[in-house]
A and B are shown apart, each in its own frame.
Chain A
């Protein structure tokens, strides 16, 4: 069975808690709401609010602090469940333990029925300690998950075990990924049923990323590379979700025509939240990319 991927959602960290976005339109008319990043508070060291600064045709931002999973379970999920709005939870953690602990707490929520999918952020920083040979101390590793396909596979496999089999599990890969094809293959091997390809690239200072219309070409490039790998059977054929650089109807349609099954909107909805509904209305004009289409003559 193939879980359905919502065709348009807000990007992780850009939709607020849902209440803010609900002021601009009816969330029930969308396929799902993407809530996140959800995690254990303070676990990845990000506590300060997002800092935004201008860049030509783009926006440089620091990582959003995670929403406390207890706050999500206690306050936010009941709000969505009461309104019948399906939710996709974007989960972020710096260790396998943090991600599985977050998923466990989500799963134990009384309103878990509102959750229709889980997105695991592989662009997050991984903090790992490895025993060093010959010394008693440990060496700590500071890199993103996506830099190491093997740890992506482990993380996705651990996440897959925590959630019901029929629940959609997606993996998000950013523009910082050194080898998107290998990471995509590892993520799908670990149990991801869709891939979110983000064109967000590291910028200016540590922990800062460039987003906005400036990175539309990076997103399309990432999409093309993964599509090519799918056509060459190096990555299993899963739906691809594009995020980054979608700023209006035309660019959303362009991204879908380039092979994305769905889009997420980030800085586009910061500029105009109604874009979410606008893009949603434009989607029926582009048929979803069907698996196997790459193999067709």
Chain B
């Protein structure tokens, strides 16, 4: 095969600290040869012996140091110390596959962008808006959560974006449309579950803006993350019954590439 093969590598967990209602894990791996982007995820083995499917976690940051290795920051929903789904403690070994998938692309010219996030992907949105600002874009963050406690680290978010808007999951479309029109944003990014991406893609289509959305429920129980199970397939508009598999071809897709009307 011409493509480099992916292998499961064993990393060492060096930190497991709280990040609001979530946990942030730092895992040191042998140096990754490729740059890591916001929007990518890793696959780690199940936490319990009676679970079959592996766990998928968002990558929320990466630092590489010559001679030391790469440190991946992974953000995970907090299990609250329940024994059902234990998280690794510092010093433990953790087999990691990845980072997998296609991350968010950055605009080539400085533009105004809106980043919409929900759940643990809030950390991805924060990393993305830092990246966007480093290429000269101005960014506005829309953080969407059922419970005020579930926003990821708002203090940090206010430092990495020009504006932060908190929204209720039911009214996120109005909030995004409002921010996009007020700031004349030309790109909408969405990091979070598929329902959020559906709404953001619809807003982008209505306002005539470009959108990049994550089309995979990373962190959910029902995805394998390797692109083999097919449970993440989304329909494409043009060619009849054809589908895109976000595990391998995403998770970040253009909002207009998916036929959202056929997504349940």
Indicate whether A271 sits within 8 Å of B221 (C-beta atoms), given known contacts A14-B229, A25-B5, A50-B231: no
**Contact status B230-A50, CB under 8 Å:** yes
A189 touches B (CB below 8 Å): no
State in angstroms the CA–CA spacing of A42 and B242 once bound together. 12
B-contact bits for A25-49, CB 8 A (1 contact / 0 none): 1110000000000000110000111
Q: Is the CB of A16 within 8 A of B245?
A: yes
Given the complex, which residues of B lie within 8 Å of A41, measured CB to CB?
240-241
B14: CB under 8 A from chain A? Answer: no
B228 touches A273 (CB 8 A): yes
The reply to whether A271 and B230 form a contact with Cβ atoms under 8 Å apart is no
Is A94 an interface residue when CB atoms closer than 8 A count as contact? no
Q: A22-B3, A23-B248, A271-B45 are in contact. Are A16 and B228 (CB under 8 A)?
A: yes
A–B pairs, 18, beta carbons within 8 Å: A10-B228, A16-B230, A20-B245, A23-B6, A26-B1, A27-B1, A49-B243, A52-B231, A53-B222, A54-B53, A64-B230, A68-B241, A71-B242, A270-B54, A271-B53, A273-B226, A273-B228, A274-B7
Q: How far is the CA of A124 from the CA of B234 in the complex (A)?
A: 24
Cross-chain contact of B228 among A47, A48, A71, A269 (Cβ < 8 A): A269
B6 and A270 contact, CB distance less than 8 A: no
The answer on a CB contact under 8 Å between A52 and B241 is: no
* A78 lies within 8 A of chain B by Cβ: no
Are B45 and A272 neighbours in the complex by a CB distance under 8 Å? yes
Check B224 for interface membership: any CB of A closer than 8 A.
yes
A residues adjacent to B (C-beta < 8 A) = 10, 13-16, 19-27, 41-42, 47-54, 56-59, 61, 64-65, 68, 71, 83, 212-213, 267, 269-274
> Which B residues are in CB contact (< 8 Å) with A27?
1
| Separation of A148 and B51 alpha carbons in the complex (Å) | 35
Determine the main DSSP class of B at the interface with A.
Answer: loop
Which residues of chain B from 209 to 264 have a CB within 8 Å of any chain A CB?
221-224, 226-234, 240-243, 245, 247-248, 264
Cross-interface CB contact of B8 among A14, A51, A267, A272, cutoff 8 Å: A272
- Chain A residues near B221: list those with CB within 8 A: 52-54
Chain B residues in contact with chain A, CB under 8 A?
1, 3, 5-8, 45-46, 50-54, 221-224, 226-234, 240-243, 245, 247-248, 264
* Cα–Cα, bound, A56→B247 (Å): 24
Complex CA–CA separation, A38 to B232 (angstroms): 19
Task: Identify 14 new A-B residue pairs, CB closer than 8 A, beyond the known A22-B1, A41-B240.
Answer: A13-B230, A14-B229, A20-B228, A24-B6, A25-B5, A26-B1, A41-B241, A48-B264, A50-B229, A54-B52, A59-B53, A269-B226, A271-B46, A271-B52
**B251 CB → nearest A CB, Å:** 14
User: Which of B50, B240, B248 makes the CB contact (< 8 A) with A20?
Assistant: B248
Supposing A20-B228, A20-B248, A23-B248 touch, asked if A212 and B52 sit within 8 A by C-beta, the answer is: yes
Chain B residue, CB-CB nearest to A213: B52
Question: Chain A residues with Cβ under 8 A from B45's Cβ?
Answer: 271-272
Q: Which of B5, B51, B224 has the most CB of A within 10 A?
A: B224
Residues of B contacting A212 in the complex (Cβ-Cβ under 8 angstroms): 52
A125 CB to nearest chain B CB (Å): 19
Most A CB atoms within 10 A — which of B54, B241, B248? Answer: B241
Q: Which residues of B contact A21 (CB under 8 A)?
A: 228
Distance A19 CA – B228 CA, assembled complex (angstroms): 10
A19-B50 CB under 8 A given contacts A52-B229, A269-B228? no
Interface centre among B54, B227, B228 (most CB of A within 10 A): B228
Assembled-state Cα–Cα distance A22/B3 (Å): 8
Given known A14-B228, A21-B228, A64-B230, contact A52–B53 (CB-CB < 8 A): yes
Q: In whole angstroms, what is the CA distance A22 to B229 when docked?
A: 15
Q: List chain A residues, Cβ under 8 A from B230.
A: 13, 16, 49-50, 64-65
Closest 3 pairs between A and B when the two form their complex, measured CB to CB: A20-B227, A49-B233, A270-B224
Cα–Cα distance between A54 and B50 once the two chains are bound (Å): 9
Find chain A residues with CB under 8 A from B229 CB: 14, 50, 52, 61, 270
Find chain A residues with CB under 8 A from B3 CB.
22-23
